[in-house]
């Protein structure tokens, strides 16, 4: 059943390119609501409790995907349509670009309050007091990082695991966003979610960096600069995955990312990625175009990989 799954991946990717996320009743939002309700019962300030929380929710989601997979096993049209719906639901590449464009328009208009209000849709850092350079940098970094999380990674797992792979990956990534951050409440409870997300994104992040190198010329960027920054700076980032994506994007666009970030009461000073100039608002559209080129290429590769699979 490789052809129906490949067709579904292609159709779902096209739906995201053309439509973005569903306006209402988004399945991922529904999963988040369910996860929050489950957390009220499972929360304990311990790693084992957090691991059980993640196992329960991701396992249930994977089982649901497996059930859908089996029910459509002998029905090619249904398999293609269900895979397309699942792909559309878990992808967020176009919505990522729209959020970045909202930021760019606010910065171009000189409306810093609106720009700061737009930041939470892109990054978890504290927007209070940030000026145009910091907001532009946060946006470019978020676009680079989330090109993998929001688009490339689901496509990789869809190519590898079909419907169960799509749904399970999005469950893992959503739980990481909900509980995987470093706060007093989630320092221990969120540990398993964060580590599982790191593992799930290891391959997609590196594929994202490689595709950034390949796609850099499409936006007037430098493939050589992208490769150099990826290999030289990618491992310096505190995340084992995000740094690869951000460094490659910085090199491709001739920018320098990294610096001081404030997350509530926590401050991180990240090493520089790339050796260009600091980002400006005018760099955001190019970052968005690069992101779209990268994840469109990933969709083509995922479809092709599924087509050549046997069984």
Q: Do 219 and 293 form a contact (C-beta atoms < 8 A)?
A: yes
DSSP states along 67-133: HHHHHTTT-HHHHHHHHHHHHHHH--HHHHHHHHHHHHHHHHTT-HHHHHHHGGGT--S--TT--HH
Domain around 139: 2-308
Residue 93, CA atoms < 13 Å, CB-side half-sphere: 31
Does the pLDDT of residue 311 top 70, yes or no? no
> CA 8 to CA 74: how far, in whole Å?
15
> So what's the pLDDT on residue 306?
92
Residues in a beta bridge with 266: 263
Specify the 3-state DSSP secondary structure of 229.
helix
Does the pLDDT of residue 265 top 90, yes or no? no
Mean pLDDT score of the chain, rounded to an integer? 93
Band of pLDDT at residue 41, cut at 50, 70 and 90: very high
> So what's the pLDDT on residue 259?
83
pLDDT in tens, 188-236: 999 999 999 999 999 999 999 999 999 999 999 999 999 999 999 999 9
What is the share, in percent, of the chain residues with pLDDT greater than 70?
98
DSSP states along 115-149: HHHHGGGT--S--TT--HHHHHHHHHHHHHHHHII
Does the pLDDT of residue 268 top 90, yes or no? no
pLDDT in tens, 271-299: 899 999 999 999 999 999 999 999 999 99
Query: Two tokens at 34?
Result: 């369910």
Task: From 59, 51, 54, select the one nearest 35 (Cα to Cα).
Answer: 54
Band of pLDDT at residue 304, cut at 50, 70 and 90: very high
Report the number of distinct structural domains present in the chain. Answer: 1
pLDDT in tens, 131-185: 999 999 999 999 999 999 999 999 999 999 999 999 999 999 999 999 998 788 9
> So what's the pLDDT on residue 154?
97
């Amino acid at each position: 059943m490789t052809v129906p799954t490949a067709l579904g991946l292609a159709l779902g990717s096209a739906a995201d390119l053309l439509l973005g996320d569903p306006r209402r009743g988004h399945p991922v939002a529904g999963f988040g609501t369910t996860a929050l309700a489950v957390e009220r019962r499972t929360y304990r300030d311990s790693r084992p409790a957090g691991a059980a929380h993640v196992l329960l929710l991701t396992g249930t989601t994977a089982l649901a995907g497996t059930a859908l997979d089996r029910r459509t096993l002998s029905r090619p049209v249904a398999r293609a349509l269900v895979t397309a719906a699942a792909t559309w639901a878990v992808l967020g590449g176009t919505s990522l670009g729209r959020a970045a464009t909202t930021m760019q328009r606010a910065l171009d208009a000189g409306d810093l309050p609106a720009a700061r209000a737009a930041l939470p849709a892109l990054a978890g850092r504290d927007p209070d007091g940030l000026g145009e350079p910091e907001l532009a940098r946060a946006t470019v970094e978020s676009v680079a990082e989330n090109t993998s999380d929001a688009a490339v990674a689901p496509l990789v797992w869809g190519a590898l695991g079909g419907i169960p792979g799509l749904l399970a990956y999005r469950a893992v990534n959503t739980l990481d966003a909900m509980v995987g951050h470093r706060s007093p409440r989630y320092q221990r409870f969120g540990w398993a979610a964060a580590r599982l997300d790191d593992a799930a994104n290891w391959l997609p992040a590196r594929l994202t960096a490689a595709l950034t190198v390949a796609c850099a010329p499409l936006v007037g960027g430098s493939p050589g600069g992208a490769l150099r920054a990826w290999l030289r700076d990618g491992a310096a980032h505190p995340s084992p995955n995000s740094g690869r994506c951000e460094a490659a994007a910085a090199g491709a666009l001739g920018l320098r990312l990294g610096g001081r970030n404030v997350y509530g009461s926590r401050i991180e000073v990240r090493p520089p990625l790339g050796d260009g100039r600091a980002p400006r608002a005018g760099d955001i559209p190019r970052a968005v175009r690069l992101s779209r080129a990268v994840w469109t290429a990933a969709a083509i590769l995922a479809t092709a990989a599924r087509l050549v699979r046997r069984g």
